[in-house]
Structure formats: structure tokens, C-alpha cells
Structure 1
Amino acid sequence: MKTTLKKSDHIAIPVIIGLSIAVPIIVLVLMLLPQRYNIFGADTLTFPLFHAILNFATAVLLIIGYFFMSIKKYVQHRNIMIAAFGLSVIFLVSYVLSKISNEPVPYGGEGVLRYVYFFILISHILLSAIIVPLVLFTMYRGLSGQYNKHSKVARWTFPIWLYVAITGVLVFLFMMPYY
């Protein structure tokens, strides 16, 4: 069995590393597009609202998944975490489409809220880039039965992923008046 896992590691690890590098670069490039192409004719609020809903649902699933793991209901834990991963994939695809479709909206808040917003936003962005490889490695290790490695990386993945999901909702709430 260990030989099979090592063979799958030879494929999975380079794919995970490649995606972990490609995703932030693609998002950055799309944010710098000189022109937008609103393929769906969506207004400025549509994508951010959808993203906030996905982030909120992901946060709820992460907490439920953690609960199932804590009571040793591993099948339910796995299923909930796969659902959270699925929502995150939908979020990522939608986020890319939103960057193609809509111009960035500047934050118009002032005073101390401006500093709070930018702290949340910057930490959210930085951890969003970090969470990609963490989630991919955690999912891979869990689904391939490498439970010791899975639990070691999941200790880091869970709080960061939850923070990113929650701050995604907070960023939306801060920005809502400006959409």
C-alpha cells in the first residue's frame, strides 16, 4: 500500500504545487486587466453577494466538519469537508469570473474603520494565497488515507481556512455600501 501512496504522491504533489502557484498569479493578473468583459451582465453587487454567501456557508461547513471530527464521526467529517472544498472551488471559479467582469470597487470608509477594513482585507488576501496549498494537501492526505499527515496539516489548515471564510464575509459587509 505504501508504494501506491508514494506513486500517487509523485503525481499529486507537483499538481498541488502547480495549482498553488498558478491560482494566485491568475487572480493577480485578472485584477490588473486593463478592460473588463461583463459576460453575464451582472451588476456590481451580484458577485460579491454570491461570494459572501459561499464564504458564510463554507465557514459553517468547516465548523460542522470540525465537530464531526471531534466526535470521531469520520465519514460525516469527510463528507462535510468535501462539501466545504466544493464551495471553495465554486467560489474560486466565480471570483475569477468576477475579476473578468467587474472593475474593482474602492473602499470609501474613513477613520478607524478604514484601518480595520484594510487589516482584515490584507490578512484575508495573504492567507487566501496560503490556504490554497494547505487545503489541497489536507484534502489529498485525508482522501488518500494518509491520516497522520492529514491531521498534522489540518491543524494549520482549519483555522486559516475558517479565518479566510469569515473575513471574506466581513470584507463584503464593509464594502456593501460602496457596490
Structure 2
Amino acid sequence: MNTNKDLEQEKKYNKWIVALSIIIPVAVAALFGVNLRSLGFDVEPLTFLPPIYATVNGVTAVVLVIAVMAIKNKNRKLHERLMKFAILLSLAFLLMYIAYHMTSDSTKFGGEGFIKYIYYFILITHILLSIVIIPFVLITYVRAITNSIERHKKIAKITFPLWLYVAVTGVVVYLMISPYYV
């Protein structure tokens, strides 16, 4: 049962949720367009990062599934730890993704025919949902830490499949484009 105190505590986080939900995608988009080498900085391309951040996406997907299993088995503490870990993994992915794109030229998908349409469908839905998932994850997390458990459960039923889709399609996009890395 939510108390007024719980709801007020949750409202205090709303400004942060809105701010981060806007700042993160805008910053990623802005930094995605910045190539340090093109600006004259003598940095090595971080071409080793894509398989690492794809692996991080895969691990995130596994952690999310295990976290759901943990809460279904009423292991709240494990669920809590795993969800915090999933958030940290997503943050690590984001930092590596930005670092790669700031030091390396973007790779173009070289597939042709129907596979090209499949790739771009997966890529576009992955990108769009990676933006959409930010406020969902933050709201879900805030509802948990403010003890709004029923409201947390309600939004988590939406957050989980979206976040899982983003994590899994991140791996799929990498696997599909990896033959075209230079």
C-alpha cells in the first residue's frame, strides 16, 4: 500500500526522470556525430569495443531474465541486486558505444536484398526503443526504491519486455553488422 509519503518521495524523482530521459538521448545523438579524429585529436580508434559492448548487451538480457525469475521465486534481495547490475551494464554499454563512435568511423551494413530490410527494421526498432526505455527503467526503479511496489510491478510488466528487446536486438545488430567491420 502506498502512503502519501511514498508518492511524494516518488514525485521528487520525476524531474530527474524527465531530465535524464531527454539529456541522455540528446547527448548520445550529439556525441555520435563527434569524431575526435576528424577534429584533429590523435586518438586510436577503439575498434575493439563493439564485441565487448555487444557482449554487455547479451549479459544484460541474461541478467534481466534471472532477475525476473528471482522475484517470481520471492527472492527480492537478489532481484534488487540484479536489477541494479542491469542498470550498470546498460550504462557501461552506453559509455563504450559513445567512446567507439567518437573514435571510429561508422560501419555501413553491407548486406543486400531482404536481409537488408530485416537488419534496418531491427536496428531502427532497437534505437527507438533504447530511447523509450530510459524513462521506463527510471520510473520502474524509482517506484521500487520508494516502496511503491504495486505500481512498480505494474510498470515493470511493460519495462521488462522492452528492455529485454533492446538488449537482445543490440546483440543481433552487432552479429549482423560484424562481418562489415573494417
Per the normalisation by structure 2, the TM-score is 0.90
Match of 1:151 in 2: 153
Contact 2:17 2:139 in 1 (8 A): yes
Unaligned ranges ≥5, structure 1:
none
Deviates more, 1:147-156 or 1:70-79: 70-79
Equivalent position of 1:97 in the other structure: 99
Q: Does the alignment pair 1:28 with 2:29?
A: yes
Letter in 2 for 1:89: L
* SS across alignment from 1:145: coil
The answer to whether the 8 Å contact 2:126/2:166 transfers is yes
Q: Does the CA contact (< 8 Å) of 1:61 and 1:80 recur in 2? A: yes
- How many pairs were matched up? 177
Specify the alignment match of 1:41 in structure 2.
44
Matches within 5 A, 1:41-60: 41-44=44-47, 46-60=48-62
Post-superposition CA distance 1:106-139 (Å, at most 9, x none): 1111111111100100000010000011111111
Quote the residue 2:67 is aligned against. Answer: 65
Q: Among all aligned residue pairs of Structure 1 and Structure 2, give the percentage whose two residues are the same amino acid.
A: 37
After superposition, what is the alpha-carbon deviation per residue over 1:21-45, rounded to whole angstroms, capped at 9, x for unaligned? Answer: 1111111112223x3347762442x
Give the Cα–Cα distance (whole angstroms) in 1 for the partners of residues 122 and 31 of structure 2: 22
- Greater CA drift, 69-78 or 6-15: 6-15
1:65–1:77 contact (8 Å) kept in structure 2:
yes
Does the 8 Å contact 2:10/2:142 carry over to 1? no
* Contact 1:36 1:103 (8 Å CA) reproduced: no
SS in structure 1 of the partner of residue 105 of structure 2: coil
User: How much has 1:10 moved relative to structure 2?
Assistant: 3.7
Find the counterpart in structure 1 of residue 6 from structure 2. Answer: 5
CA contact (8 A) 2:7 2:148 kept: no
Please give the TM-score of this superposition, normalised by the length of structure 1: 0.91
CA gap of 1:145–1:40, structure 2 versus 1, over 3 A, is farther
- Alpha carbons 2:33, 2:102 under 8 Å: kept: no
1:130 to 2:156 alignment: no
The residue type equivalent to 1:68 in the other structure is: A
Determine if contact 2:144/2:152 at 8 Å carries over to the other structure: yes
Asked if 1:87 corresponds to 2:85, the answer is: no
Deviation string for 1:39-80 (max 9, x for gaps)?
762442x12111101000000000101111112211111111
Structure 1 CA distance for aligned equivalents of residues 94 and 30 of structure 2: 14
**How large is the RMSD of aligned CA atoms in angstroms?**
1.8
